[in-house]
Structure 1
Amino acid sequence: MRPKNPRVGSSVVSVLATIACLSIVLAVTFYLVNRQPQVTVEKVDEQIQAPAETPLVMEEQQEEVVVVPEQTPEPVQETPRVTPEEMVAAQLAAGEFGQAIETAETVADLNERTMLLKMVVKAQMDSGDFVAALGTINRIPLAEARTQAMSERAQAMSLAGGSQLADFTELIQLIQTQTSGLWSDTGEGDGEISQFSSGVKVDPNGLLHQISQQERNGQLAALGIKARQANLNQNVAQNSQLRLVSLTRLEQQVQQLIEEGRSPVETMKMLAGLTKVQYIFVYPKENEVVIAGPAEAWIYNEQGQAVGVESGRPVLQLDDLVTVLRTFSDQGEKIFGCSFDPRPEGLARVKEFVAQSNARGPLHAGGGVRNWTRQLKDKLGVQDITQYGVPDTSRVARVLIEADYRMKMIGIGKLDAGANIPSYFDLLAKENSQSAQKLEALRWWLTMKYDSVLHNPQRTAFELVGSSVLCQSENQIVTKEGQRLQTGQAEKLNREFAANFTKHYQELAQKDLVYADLQNIFDLALVAALMQNEQLADRAGWEMNAFASNGMYRPAEYKPAHTVETVVNHRVYNGKDVVVQVAGGVRVDTASVVKNQNNLKVSPEVGAVSTKSQAPALPVGRWWWDLAN
């Protein structure tokens, strides 16, 4: 039977055939699409691996890497080199004076080094620091340029209205230029010249000798060196019954100035005008060690020494403080002094000479006495000066030596100390002693004298009471060989001279400032000894820098004295020559004070002063203050 609608079957077949064809096309397309990426990946892999397998390309890259560093030094070599002059100029512009000096001194050529140092000198003078300029001038290697720089400095100081510190530069220059001596400073010989505590001493052999007041005044007047006012601000120029100086703050300021290539200012050098040390305070919480005492404005007298305007006493000096702090540090000897020691051969010659002279009978007046005195001096020769505990170039050493020498000259009648301190010969004449020896060998020496040291129970505050100087005496025996034998005893007249000297010491110190200066040094030594014995610096947490034994601060140096003309004099009693020869020295043994329990006494009042004396709010950089009334 035939279907009713034959087209329906054929349509179905057509649809199925179409679907089959489409399926085949899709399958082929899918196959082709999936196959093409695989080919692409393989090609990419080949391209990536190709460079790694090509050695020529790698060699070219390595050669380029090696060549580039070899070419880099060429531009560096073309950079202009900084000359020493440019370096010094840059350092001066930045205010680095110390570094500028170091740079200049690395230059070997003397002319170039001189030029660079003169640049530093000019910059220092332009800033008003004439003291630092003087130190730099002394470094100039060429004598002619150094002299010229000295002259320029003097002119600049004159235009500025004076100098910061008293010195004898002009006098030294005059001696060097107006004498025929060969001076080491000018590069022409070995002679040396330096400042002395009471004038200028010139002796290439280190021989100490006294010059008269009239001679010294004549030299200074000829050079126009006169008493002058110190350059002080109104605050420090005020008199104060109790001025306090913080040693810790002061050291910080000094350290800073030195690091900047500058010198400590005048106020620092003179410890703000202190004329005496009365108190020592330690404030552990504030990390401060403080000294205190009366203070005043100061002037420079005819000898260039800083003295109080009203009291006339020498002011305390930073150089002396630092010197004794180092003596009483862990590295120091903790004792210092000097001694004048006669040479045995000289004493032996004098002993024999005096015996022969007395055997011949009285001397003839006039020429006979002068000839006898000259022979006596020649036979004695010189005494050796022994210095210990402090540098022999320090100002402390010079003050000790001069005070000791002048004390002995007073004792033998060659210097007048006034009616209250008669010489040994004056005492001998009053006694009309028949037992005087033909050769009297006496020993006089100076040492510390304090009535007591008061302190609070916590031992953070100390007061020095009854500060003075003690003169002690001893008679010695001179053997035939010239040896001096100690006896441990002093006969009546010898003891009397020493007692008078001690009793009237303060009166003498007003007339002869070297004795006031010596007393100041004794006070500073006791400060240093108490700090060491009581560990005050440790309790304040103060680790010294500039003031330490190896610190940057350098006290002024002087020509050391090694010998002195023998201290001797003679008189005729009962037709016989009596010759007095003196030895001795100065001994600063603080242990007799700080370790003597009889001297140390508790006083609550000292603690009350310490509490009132603590530092108020101070301006930045201020290291001293006055106790409010």
Structure 2
Amino acid sequence: MRLPTLMISAICLAMTVSTADAGIGLGNQQSVGGVMIAPDGSVRAATVEEQKEMAQVVRNAMQAPTGELAQATDRRVISLNGLQAALKEAHESGQHLDTETMFLAGMQRIEYVIVDQENNDILLAGPAEPWMVRPDGHVVGTETGGAVLRLDDLVTAFRSVETARNDGGIRCSIEPTAEGRLRLQNFLKNVKLRPGQNPAYLEAGMRQAFGPQQILLAGVATDSRFARTLVAADFEMKRIAMGLTQSPVAGLPSYLEIAKHQAQSSVSSPRWWMACDYDPIAHDAEGRVWKISGQGVKTLTEDDTFDKQGNVRSTGRQNPLATKWADMMTEQFEDLSRERPVFRDLRNAMDLAVVATLITQQQLDHKSGIDLSVLRGNDSQVELASYDMPKTLEPQCSFIKGRAGWTVTASGGVNLNAFAISENAVKDETLGNIAVASDSASRWWWDGE
């Protein structure tokens, strides 16, 4: 018997009810964080009209938060035992999952992972808010405007731990091919700009020469919402950096704006990627309470160079202006993620990957005595929605004509190494005072002190 649910789109956009595919979800599978991704590799921003239609579909498909869910709290607690029991009940009764389950009771972040040996349970605790649907279709908290945590991302995080271990982490990148780089080099050799001529007219020809870019994914199921989040965040970061879309944050201009009139190299270009940015995980003396803190996401950069065959290698060097842009994005991340919830969705995915990896690496499930087979997928009681992921995308690139040549910026990525975070732990004996006792035996979440 399959668990009938709602299909949830990759970034809380374009949600539709689907009965044709089993799995956790609400969603138009082509929409990812305001970016329309089709199986043929075409990518574009959703139009205003499409966003309005998406928002209405989402509102029709969701239940509004009521009771305690309609109130913000600094500490909401989720029982993984209780959550699994709710999933089992839905599976056995053939019911759709409700909105509070799909959105993990409005949780915004996981700040504490607590071993509850008395009840053979693991508890997750952190701030939570009521949720709302923005005019563009994003589902966010009413207080901070941050995208809410998602059940399907939590399940994917648990199911990806061993794959990520074998693959050296979870990674995503959108890369040009060697052949495309060679075609672009040959194209630029024949370009002669007259004084004062705007090079923007070359963009169509440059894209055609570059050709499709490869989507490279590792450590996570490529048909998951989690994977589409990585691709969409990478895509949006690249578009902001290259000035292909207007930055929504005043303190974050495009890289092209800050690099104008600077010397450029014709055989190297900056690459940016987003990575985990957490403080050392703190735990009490008994290893019962674990605290996760830090911004979660930072942007890094390094120069790439390519040879006569179009093959790329890292130089190990950082362009000072590219570093400046990376630092600016890191500093503006909170504001940026409120304006572009795809970046908060990325942080949510990172948070959940860290939680799942911490529980596995530190064997907190064995310490508590909990059986996590439902979330880990060992019994197939929870099926995740499957999304078509193209192997290539239409080229997204921009360029700068400097005093020493052309710089084309086209590479980016996400590097999520949750193992390094979970292993970087420090002792904090004050954490033993955390109180999260349940005031309700009838549900899988409650508000703590």
Q: Same fold (TM over 0.5)?
A: yes
1:286 to 119, 144, 150: 119
Identity among equivalent positions (%) equals 26
Go from structure 1 to structure 2 and tell me whether the alpha carbon gap of 1:222 and 1:606 turns closer, same or farther (over 3 Å shift): closer
Q: Which residue of 1 aligns with 2:392?
A: 563
Paired with 1:459 and 1:204, the residues of 2 have a C-alpha distance of 45
Q: Which residue of 1 aligns with 2:11?
A: none
Paired with 1:200 and 1:489, the residues of 2 have a C-alpha distance of 32
Deviations along 1:378-402, one digit per CA (max 9) or x if unpaired, are: 1100110011111111111111111
Which piece of structure 1 moves more, 221-230 or 458-467?
A: 221-230
Go from structure 1 to structure 2 and tell me whether the alpha carbon gap of 1:286 and 1:134 turns closer, same or farther (over 3 Å shift): same
Q: CA deviation at 1:251?
A: 0.5
3-state SS, counterpart of residue 253 of structure 2: coil
* 1:166–1:304 CA contact under 8 A, matched in 2: no
Q: Which residue of 2 aligns with 1:512?
A: 340
Paired with 1:363 and 1:348, the residues of 2 have a C-alpha distance of 26
Q: Which residue of 1 aligns with 2:32?
A: 197
Q: Which residue of 2 aligns with 1:355?
A: 189
Paired with 2:163 and 2:195, the residues of 1 have a C-alpha distance of 58
1:344 to 175, 178, 182: 178
Matched letter for residue 304 of structure 1? G
3-state SS, counterpart of residue 67 of structure 2: coil
Deviations along 1:190-236, one digit per CA (max 9) or x if unpaired, are: xxxx342335736342x151215xx1x21244688278484333132
Q: Which residue of 2 aligns with 1:553?
A: 382
Paired with 1:307 and 1:250, the residues of 2 have a C-alpha distance of 21
1:79-98 equivalences in 2 (<5 Å): 98=1
Go from structure 1 to structure 2 and tell me whether the alpha carbon gap of 1:137 and 1:356 turns closer, same or farther (over 3 Å shift): closer
Q: Which residue of 1 aligns with 2:366?
A: 538
State yes or no: 1:450 paired with 2:282.
no
Go from structure 1 to structure 2 and tell me whether the alpha carbon gap of 1:251 and 1:211 turns closer, same or farther (over 3 Å shift): same
Deviations along 1:341-391, one digit per CA (max 9) or x if unpaired, are: 21001101111221221xx4428958x953x32221111001100111111
Q: Which residue of 2 aligns with 1:233?
A: 66
Which piece of structure 1 moves more, 257-266 or 564-573?
A: 564-573
* 1:326–1:332 CA contact under 8 A, matched in 2: no
Paired with 2:200 and 2:69, the residues of 1 have a C-alpha distance of 56
1:33-112 equivalences in 2 (<5 Å): 98=1
Paired with 1:532 and 1:326, the residues of 2 have a C-alpha distance of 11
* 2:69–2:105 CA contact under 8 A, matched in 1: yes
State yes or no: 1:416 paired with 2:246.
yes
Q: CA RMSD in A?
A: 2.8
Paired with 1:348 and 1:500, the residues of 2 have a C-alpha distance of 32
State yes or no: 1:624 paired with 2:445.
yes
Matched letter for residue 567 of structure 1? Q
3-state SS, counterpart of residue 323 of structure 1: helix
Paired with 2:241 and 2:279, the residues of 1 have a C-alpha distance of 26
* 1:335–1:589 CA contact under 8 A, matched in 2: yes
Q: CA deviation at 1:487?
A: 0.9
Q: Which residue of 1 aligns with 2:49?
A: 218
Paired with 2:69 and 2:99, the residues of 1 have a C-alpha distance of 11
3-state SS, counterpart of residue 285 of structure 1: helix
Q: Which residue of 1 aligns with 2:85?
A: 252
3-state SS, counterpart of residue 458 of structure 1: coil
Q: Which residue of 1 aligns with 2:10?
A: none
Q: CA deviation at 1:423?
A: 2.2
State yes or no: 1:377 paired with 2:211.
no
* 2:164–2:219 CA contact under 8 A, matched in 1: no
Higher relative contact order (CA 8 A, sep 6+): 2
Matched letter for residue 220 of structure 2? V
Deviations along 1:6-51, one digit per CA (max 9) or x if unpaired, are: xxxxxxxxxxxxxxxxxxxxxxxxxxxxxxxxxxxxxxxxxxxxxx
Deviations along 1:80-139, one digit per CA (max 9) or x if unpaired, are: xxxxxxxxxxxxxxxxxx49x9xxxxxxxxxxxxxxxxxx99xxxxxxxxxxx9554558
Go from structure 1 to structure 2 and tell me whether the alpha carbon gap of 1:302 and 1:439 turns closer, same or farther (over 3 Å shift): farther
Q: CA deviation at 1:625?
A: 0.9
* 2:207–2:396 CA contact under 8 A, matched in 1: no
The structure that is helix-richer by fraction is 1
Q: CA deviation at 1:491?
A: 2.0
Go from structure 1 to structure 2 and tell me whether the alpha carbon gap of 1:549 and 1:233 turns closer, same or farther (over 3 Å shift): same
* 1:288–1:542 CA contact under 8 A, matched in 2: yes
Q: Which residue of 2 aligns with 1:581?
A: 409
Q: CA deviation at 1:302?
A: 2.7
Q: Which residue of 1 aligns with 2:219?
A: 389
Q: Which has the larger radius of gyration?
A: 1
Q: Which residue of 1 aligns with 2:154?
A: 321
Matched letter for residue 479 of structure 1? D
State yes or no: 1:403 paired with 2:226.
no
Matched letter for residue 236 of structure 2? R
Q: CA deviation at 1:512?
A: 1.1
Paired with 1:209 and 1:481, the residues of 2 have a C-alpha distance of 28
Go from structure 1 to structure 2 and tell me whether the alpha carbon gap of 1:518 and 1:341 turns closer, same or farther (over 3 Å shift): same
State yes or no: 1:615 paired with 2:448.
no
Q: CA deviation at 1:537?
A: 0.8
Paired with 2:280 and 2:164, the residues of 1 have a C-alpha distance of 28
3-state SS, counterpart of residue 258 of structure 2: helix
Paired with 2:317 and 2:55, the residues of 1 have a C-alpha distance of 50
2:107 to 274, 281, 291: 274
1:463 to 291, 295, 299: 291
Deviations along 1:515-555, one digit per CA (max 9) or x if unpaired, are: 11111111111101110111011111122232123332112
Deviations along 1:237-257, one digit per CA (max 9) or x if unpaired, are: 222110000011110120121
3-state SS, counterpart of residue 235 of structure 1: helix
* 2:282–2:292 CA contact under 8 A, matched in 1: yes
Go from structure 1 to structure 2 and tell me whether the alpha carbon gap of 1:406 and 1:270 turns closer, same or farther (over 3 Å shift): same
1:501 to 321, 324, 329: 329
Matched letter for residue 284 of structure 1? Q
Go from structure 1 to structure 2 and tell me whether the alpha carbon gap of 1:284 and 1:410 turns closer, same or farther (over 3 Å shift): same
Q: CA deviation at 1:315?
A: 0.8
Q: Which residue of 2 aligns with 1:481?
A: 309
Which piece of structure 1 moves more, 341-350 or 583-592?
A: 583-592
Task: Name structure 2 gaps, 5 residues minimum.
Answer: 6-15
Paired with 1:222 and 1:473, the residues of 2 have a C-alpha distance of 37
Give the number of aligned pairs. 433
